[in-house]
Amino acid sequence: MRRRDELNSLCEDPNLWNNPEKAQGLLRERNHIDSLINGYESLDLEFKGNIELAEMAEAEKDNAVLAEAENALVKIAKELHKLEIESLLSGEADANDCFLEINSGAGGTESQDWAEMLLRMYTRWAGKRGYKWELVEESRGEEAGIKSATIKIMGHNAYGWAKTESGVHRLVRISPFDSNARRHTSFAGVWVYPVIDDKINIQINDKDIRVDTYRASGSGGQHVNKTDSAVRFTHIPTGIVAACQSSRSQHANRAEAMNMLKARLYERELRIREEKADALNSTKTDNAWGHQIRSYVLHPYQMVKDLRTDYETSSTGAVLDGEIDAFMSAALADRVKGKAESL
């Protein structure tokens, strides 16, 4: 309630829209808090109403009404669990937008096709949550799929939710590219890092950056493909790379690539800080490249299983169509449990 009052006061400032990006962020946060509070109040009313209904039905021995009330209470419990998971998103940058980067693993066309399937899964997930997204960089495969891609996901708590997806994703299936219809295993890596806002200050020395420009490989019109509009920054001390080709303007791509580089350096600092603070738990929650987090098996049976939480489902089609909130919720809950156990 206190934070909502603070946001209401800030949104009444006549100078708020002098900084449109900041204003939109404040409005998103206020709307999100309003939604959470309204959700809790609505569930509280439904809970009390159905408890009374169940007591009356039990007294009158009306089994049909009693069953109806019990079903409603089960649904209320599920909705309450969702709100509880949402309340776990209180990390330093959880409320921020994020960049989500996908890289195909070894295996050529197989892994590149898998990387593109993951890209579709995450853009579908973003759409289902009401988030906006845009393609920042994409490197197409020679035959099919993508070698790499980066999208920017915009919406309240985008980083808080998506950060649980960092790691290696494994696919087992009958290959559509194998004429002998053999089973193949493919890997792709996902890396998620928060968009830096004006509350976070990251300093980078010019001498620590190597800048490369090149022609964009994706769609975007003749101008993009004929000029060196794409930009790649390499941070020499850490080896971190950030690239952008989404705009026809090299200047715009440089600005976005710099934002991405700062975001990756910030995410690295958050990860190092977390590992130092909780060395015992870091082996469970490490999101670094090389740590396999989930398997998607399409043959000889249908199963998607998270290797960190053991959460699994046989609804592989729904998962690949963006229904991954349950995996994210389980991972968030597991993080909190792991931290509590290490205290």
The neighbour count for residue 116, using CB atoms within 10 Å, is 21
> For every one of its 343 residues, what pLDDT tens digit does the chain have, with 9 covering 90 and above?
677 778 778 788 888 788 887 777 777 778 777 877 888 889 999 999 999 999 999 999 999 999 999 999 999 998 887 778 877 787 778 888 999 999 999 878 999 999 999 999 999 999 999 999 999 999 998 889 999 999 999 998 899 999 999 999 999 999 888 878 788 899 999 999 998 876 677 888 999 999 998 877 655 444 444 567 889 999 999 999 999 988 888 889 999 999 899 888 988 888 787 676 554 333 333 333 447 899 999 999 999 999 999 999 999 999 999 999 999 999 998 876 655 454 4
pLDDT at 87: 75
Phi, psi (degrees; rounded to nearest 5) at 142: -65, -40
Phi, psi (degrees; rounded to nearest 5) at 69: -65, -40
For the chain, list the domains and their CATH numbers: 2-87 (1.20.58.410), 93-343 (3.30.70.1660)
Phi, psi (degrees; rounded to nearest 5) at 48: -60, -40
DSSP result, 269-321: HHHHHHHHHTHHHHHHH---TT-EEEEEE-SSS-EEEETTT--EES-HHHHHT
Match 């290959």 to its residue by tokens: 175
Per-residue tokens: 94: 């959880």
Contact 144, 137 (CB under 8 A): no
Strand 292-297: give its sheet, edge to edge: 132-140, 146-154, 98-104, 183-194, 167-174, 292-297, 303-306, 312-313
Half-sphere exposure of 126 (CA within 13 A, CB side): 25
pLDDT at 223: 42
SS in 3 state form for 74-138? HHHHHHHHHHHHHHCCCCCCCCCCEEEEEEECCCCHHHHHHHHHHHHHHHHHHHHCCCEEEEEEE
pLDDT at 296: 97
Q: What angle do CA 165, 135, 114 make, to 5 degrees?
A: 50
pLDDT at 95: 85
pLDDT at 309: 94
Per-residue tokens: 224: 């993009």
Convert 317-333 to b/e letters by CB count within 10 Å (16 or more is b). eebbebbbebbbbbbbb
Phi-psi region of 6 (alpha: psi -120 to 50; beta: other; left: phi over 0): alpha
Contact 118, 70 (CB under 8 A): no
d(CA 94, CA 167): 18
